[in-house]
Structure 1
Amino acid sequence: MALESWFPIGYELPDGASCGRPLHASTNWQIVETRGGGNALVATETLFARWSASRLVELGDFQRFTFGADTYYEVSGSPSQLLVHLSDCRSPNNKNEAIAFATALRDTRAIDADSSLQDAVYVEKLGRLLPVYEMTSHADDGVVLGYWLTGGAQISAESFQRLHQMLTWIGSGALREVIETAGIGLADDGTFVEADKVADVPHSLHDKTNLLEDADSPEQNAMRKPGMESGKTFELSGRPQLEAFFNEHVVDIVRNKERYSALGIEFPAATVLHGPPGCGKTFAVEQLVEYLGWPSFQLDASTIASPFIHETSRKVSEMFEKAMKNAPSVLVIDEMEAFLADREAGGGGSHHRVEEVAEFLRRIPEAAKNEVLIIAMTNRVEMIDPAIMRRGRFDHVIAVGYPDEAEVSALLSKLLAALPKDRTVDPAPLAKALAGRPLSDVAFVVREGARLAARAGSDKLGQDFLLAALDAAPSRAGGNPERRAGFV
């Protein structure tokens, strides 16, 4: 049903944004499209006064204007700035989007400790979740965050293992950082609470199936047990060659330590995975980390890069020390081209890069001797300094390309196996259409198909929903269009 717009199409808001069609609306607020692909939030004077009294917004954050006899307040966002009601949310595209939302949740809660946020409007430009005060029931913040990260599944972020299994677009280390940024669910020992709790969750956040189980059940305890410890074989659905490599060069060496040690092989060698974005490098590493059950640490530009002299090298050293202190452990070096590029290609301003690369050259062999498994990932292997890439530091350099039809079919089978579905579901045409595309597209089609099924009131996933999801996920091989909030 079409929403009734408060303002004529083309009406110019006080900050210069031009009104389009309404995307979401209620009694005291509307979100409308604006010319150029952005969105605007318009609130009545009553609602704005409540936000202002709670100190969630300041007068300068919104533009005041009158239309007819009524007074309104408005804020607009560009196409790259999310402005959306949480009921219309989609799973974030990347870690940065997830961190931005988690920060907004934390900062909002620091100002307003009591208001329910499950019906809030997320205004990325302001870094706030603005409650619209229309629901009397209250979902805890863990459920709000989990709902956002999954694009609509009712699962608490406190249930880390379950949430991690549902999200293929983000690694476990990054997911922990997101949850920690939001200030949710840390136990005294630094691990995340497996509470799997939901308190009076409103109907709009409920699925038709119960996604939560008793956190203390034997089944869930078994699920949490690392695959290495339980004796299971390491499996990587959709990636048989990479699965075989990890089983041979990592798992077998760790599992048969004495036999390999007798022949001078003390620990698995460092490995580089390289390939185009979305080919499944991160997913493969996270599956291995989860299987091993070891502490994992991540080095990337966002955690160690610094404009200050010697600061980056110091952070690199600290991370290696932390990994060795918690050995056996895994140290993941993500986007390694950002700080391990060829020193000869840096020109006269590369002397600090030389110091950073030298720190890695020294630390990588030392870490391997102290039972730290090092796995690096890059989209630009040709940029990496040759001294880093030589054998003795990284013994294995593995190319990871986009999956073929058989690999896509294997991943689809695994993802669909855990979902209730009817007899119409046939992975074959989906696998053919998705072959040669990022694995994240495969996961999206299944997740989006499940969302469409739930939205339509169905308790089973059908082929029609999956095909509709496939149509909604055109290949981005030719570019990466900007994301728009609301419906497209």
Structure 2
Amino acid sequence: MFERFIGGRKKSNNPFDEFNDPYSKLIQAIEDTQYYINRGNTSAAISAFKKAGEKFSESYELITDLINYQIEDGELQIALDSLVNIQDTYSTYYDLAEYFSIDLREYKQLIFAYLEILKGLLLIDMGKHRVAIKAFDNALELDDGNSTAWVWKGQALLALENSQAALGAFEAALRTDWHSADAWAGKGDALLALERADEAIEAYSTALELNDTEAELYFKQLVCLIALERYEDALKSLNEILKFNEDNAVAWYTKYIILDLLGEEQSSLIAQNKALKIDPNVVSDPFIEELNNAINTIEENSEDSPQTDTGYGFSDATVSSSNTERTPTSINPSSDAAVPTNTSDLTVEESKISPKPKKPIPYRKGSGENMGEAPKGFACVAGMEELKERLIRDVIQPLKNPEKYKKFKVSIPNGILFYGPPGCGKTFIVRKLAEELGFTFIEVHHSSIGSSYMHGTAQNIATKFQEAIDHAPTILFFDEIEGMVPKRENLSSSDSHRQEEINEFLTQLNNASKHSVLVIGATNQPDLIDSAIMRSGRMDKRVYIPPPDHDARKALFRNGLTDRPCASDIDLDELARLTENYASSDIALIAEEAARAAVDLDRDEIDMEILLWKVEEIKPSLVKSQIAKYRQFEHLER
């Protein structure tokens, strides 16, 4: 978001050093000016102030480079602190200008409006949308004709789901600058959120006339056009998307949907096969989910719209039909490639794949139970019943019924340590635990909060805990926690700063439960974690996450093969039996490689022969001795 505003970062070896040189000289010149004023030496004060003016201009030109540099290093809080510091320094400079009767009020308003916009963008990136709106309002008080401030205020309001107010902000931006493509695009987003699809199309069309390289706008138009059942227009919009990227699986899969809705079955199958060849998992893309919703809305509103069974799923031992909802992930529709824009550009080989009686990849919801919401929480965790029962008993029930447990003086978990072999789903299980509890989920990697600045990492740890408190109830998850809190006896004298970081983490951990924050750490190496983390009142629960059991492996194969064309001879029980000691990631890889092999062999579907071949070819990433070593940590479990 920030880079989009500044138009990309300038090439620089070290923007911090480049900025710091003129900025430190500016501060010195300001201090000299104040010193000479206090001494009554007006001539020297004026000379020092002129030098301050030169350094002011130099530092101001480098601000955006500095802030973007800190953002790229993940130093959002430090970037925000830098901006506040810069504002204070510049304010002092303008006070001195006023002292010398130099009228810089107009420049001051424009510069401070710009700094407030930078602050607002940083706050949006930090997820603090309400505070960001205040920053944009400050900018507008200084310069009410600043269309950029109106646009980003609208974006912040959209993030808070205040679509009507956001629409007003975008319209205010357009009154200031009718040619703002961002304002038109934002207006389209607000209108779409308000279910005014026909008006949203017009807004997106205007934005595209002003900036036709924004491929994402074509995707947004598609949702509107399909919601309005304007399928021919949607197909034209799709071809524009494919001009940006001929290998865009989402675009080809969407083309399959639209051609099918138009009754062009053969062309739709060609587009479908093209999409699956590029990305076998394209159906899980969030844009496809949006199309599902648009199509379902149309069907629900049409009395004679037939319910269509469009997918393959699995029974316990063989393949049969069902449908599956997906959790959205991110998309990036833009690219620089030039492309074919119709199905006739596909090669003969790509069109040879024969159609099946049923479409192997669903794009509509089925009837009955599948019409509900996608499964969440532990319903998504394959097998592992003993583990789930323990988490329900020891974690979920105490957190959901705290008064009952407090009555019997049973402690509420403050922190949990998940340990076990790599690739066995520790992170996935934590995510599903958050869904089961209905808590906010915040994931932290040690690499993302490390800082080269003195006390920077400790400050970032405190910031993460504060973010969790602000969004409580929260699960604050630290992956590879041994990197953040290593054993202090193993640290060298040069690692003294790590002591501060560990102490900061312990201090924050002690108070987490008071603020409805559950801290969970995950590790493959519990022997490397500082012992202070393990004492009572900190990581109260330690849970071993083993490789998936038989039922879990069977369910993992079922999930991995769902939404892929499959033969009826697939025996999930046999596949689970043959993959003992395989990690969850290993089974996902087998399903992926089997799909790839089916494409390479020009098969119509994945069959048992291909899967057995891949099970034999792909060895488990875990060995028995590696799994056995975790038994030495059984004393940790409680």
TM interval, short-chain normalised: 0.5 to 0.7
2:408 alignment partner AA:
L
Distance between the aligned counterparts of 1:282 and 1:310, measured in 2? Answer: 28
- Deviation of 1:236 after TM superposition, in Å, equals 2.8
Seen in structure 2, the aligned counterparts of structure 1 residues 285 and 362 have a Cα distance that, compared at 3 Å, is: same
Distance 1:276 1:370, change over 3 A: same
Out of 366, 373, 377, which is 1:223 matched to? Answer: 373
Pair 1:352-2:497 in alignment: yes
Q: What is residue 158 of structure 1 aligned with on the other side? A: 286
What is residue 403 of structure 1 aligned with on the other side?
548
The counterpart of 2:250, out of the listed 134, 143, 151, is 143
**Is residue 341 from structure 1 mapped to residue 486 from structure 2 by the alignment?**
yes
Equivalent in the alignment of 1:291? 436
CA distances 1:45-72 after superposition (whole Å, capped 9, x unpaired): xxxxxxxxxxxxxxxxxxxxxxxxxxxx
1:103-118 aligned within 5 A: 113=213
Segment drifting more, 303-312 vs 144-153: 144-153
Matched AA of 1:240: E
Does residue 425 (structure 1) correspond to residue 570 (structure 2)? The answer is yes
Larger Rg: 2
Q: Which runs of 5+ in 2 are unaligned?
A: 1-210, 217-239, 254-274, 291-326, 335-340, 624-638
CA distance in 2, matches of 1:291, 1:269: 17
Instruction: Give the Å deviation of 1:213.
Output: 3.9
Superposition deviation, residue 395 in structure 1: 0.7
Any idea what the Cα deviations from partners look like across 1:18-62, whole Å, max 9, x if unmatched? xxxxxxxxxxxxxxxxxxxxxxxxxxxxxxxxxxxxxxxxxxxxx
Please identify which structure carries the higher helix content. Answer: 2
- Given that 1:278 and 1:439 are in contact with CA atoms closer than 8 Å, whether structure 2 keeps it comes out as yes
Match of 1:18 in 2: none
1:81-135 Cα shifts (integer Å, max 9, x gaps): xxxxxxxxxxxxxxxxxxxxxxxxxxxxxx994799xxxxxxxxxxxxxxxx9x7
Give the C-alpha shift of residue 459 in structure 1: 5.8
Distance 1:307 1:113, change over 3 A: same
What is the CA-CA distance between 1:300 and the residue it aligns to?
A: 0.9
Paired residues, what number? Answer: 318
Contact kept? 2:444, 2:477, Cα under 8 Å = yes
More strand by share: 1
Deviations 1:192-228 (A, max 9, x none): xxxxxxx9899779995344347xx99888425855x
Q: Point out where structure 1 has 5 or more consecutive residues left out of the alignment.
A: 1-110, 117-132, 163-174, 185-198, 228-232, 479-488
1:362 to 500, 507, 529: 507
SS across alignment from 2:286: coil
Cα 1:474–1:161 change in 2 (3 A) is farther
CA–CA separation in structure 2 for the residues paired with 1:150 and 1:371: 44
Q: Is residue 277–residue 599 contact of structure 2 (8 Å, CA) maintained in 1?
A: no
Deviation, 1:327, is 0.5
**Per-residue deviation, 1:253:** 2.3
**C-alpha contact (below 8 Å) 1:138/1:200 kept by paired residues:** no
Contact 1:434 1:441 in 2 (8 A): no
User: What's 1:79 paired with?
Assistant: none
What amino acid is aligned across from residue 394 of structure 1 in structure 2?
M
Structure 1 pair 338/142, CA: closer, same or farther in 2 (3 Å)?
farther
Hey, what's the Cα distance between the residues in 1 that align with 2:287 and 2:422?
A: 28
2:307 matches 1:307: no
Relative distance call for 1:141 and 1:293 in structure 2 (3 A) is farther
**Taking every aligned residue pair, what percent have the same amino acid on both sides?**
27
Which amino acid is the alignment partner of residue 412 of structure 1?
F
Q: TM-score, normalised to structure 2's length? A: 0.43
Which residue in the other structure is 2:363 paired with?
212
Separation (CA, whole Å) in 2 of partners of 1:389 and 1:356: 17
1:260 aligns with 2:405: yes
- 1:355, distance to aligned residue in structure 2 (A): 0.5
Q: What residue number does 2:390 align with?
A: 245
Post-superposition shift, 1:472? 4.1
Contact preservation (8 Å) 2:382, 2:555: yes
Looking at structure 2, the residues matched to 183 and 366 of structure 1 have their Cα atoms a distance apart, in angstroms, of: 43
CA distance in 1, matches of 2:429, 2:276: 24
Matches within 5 A, 1:28-177: 113=213, 143=250, 151-155=279-283, 157-159=285-287
Aligned to 1:274: 419
Any idea what SS the aligned residue of 1:377 has? Answer: strand
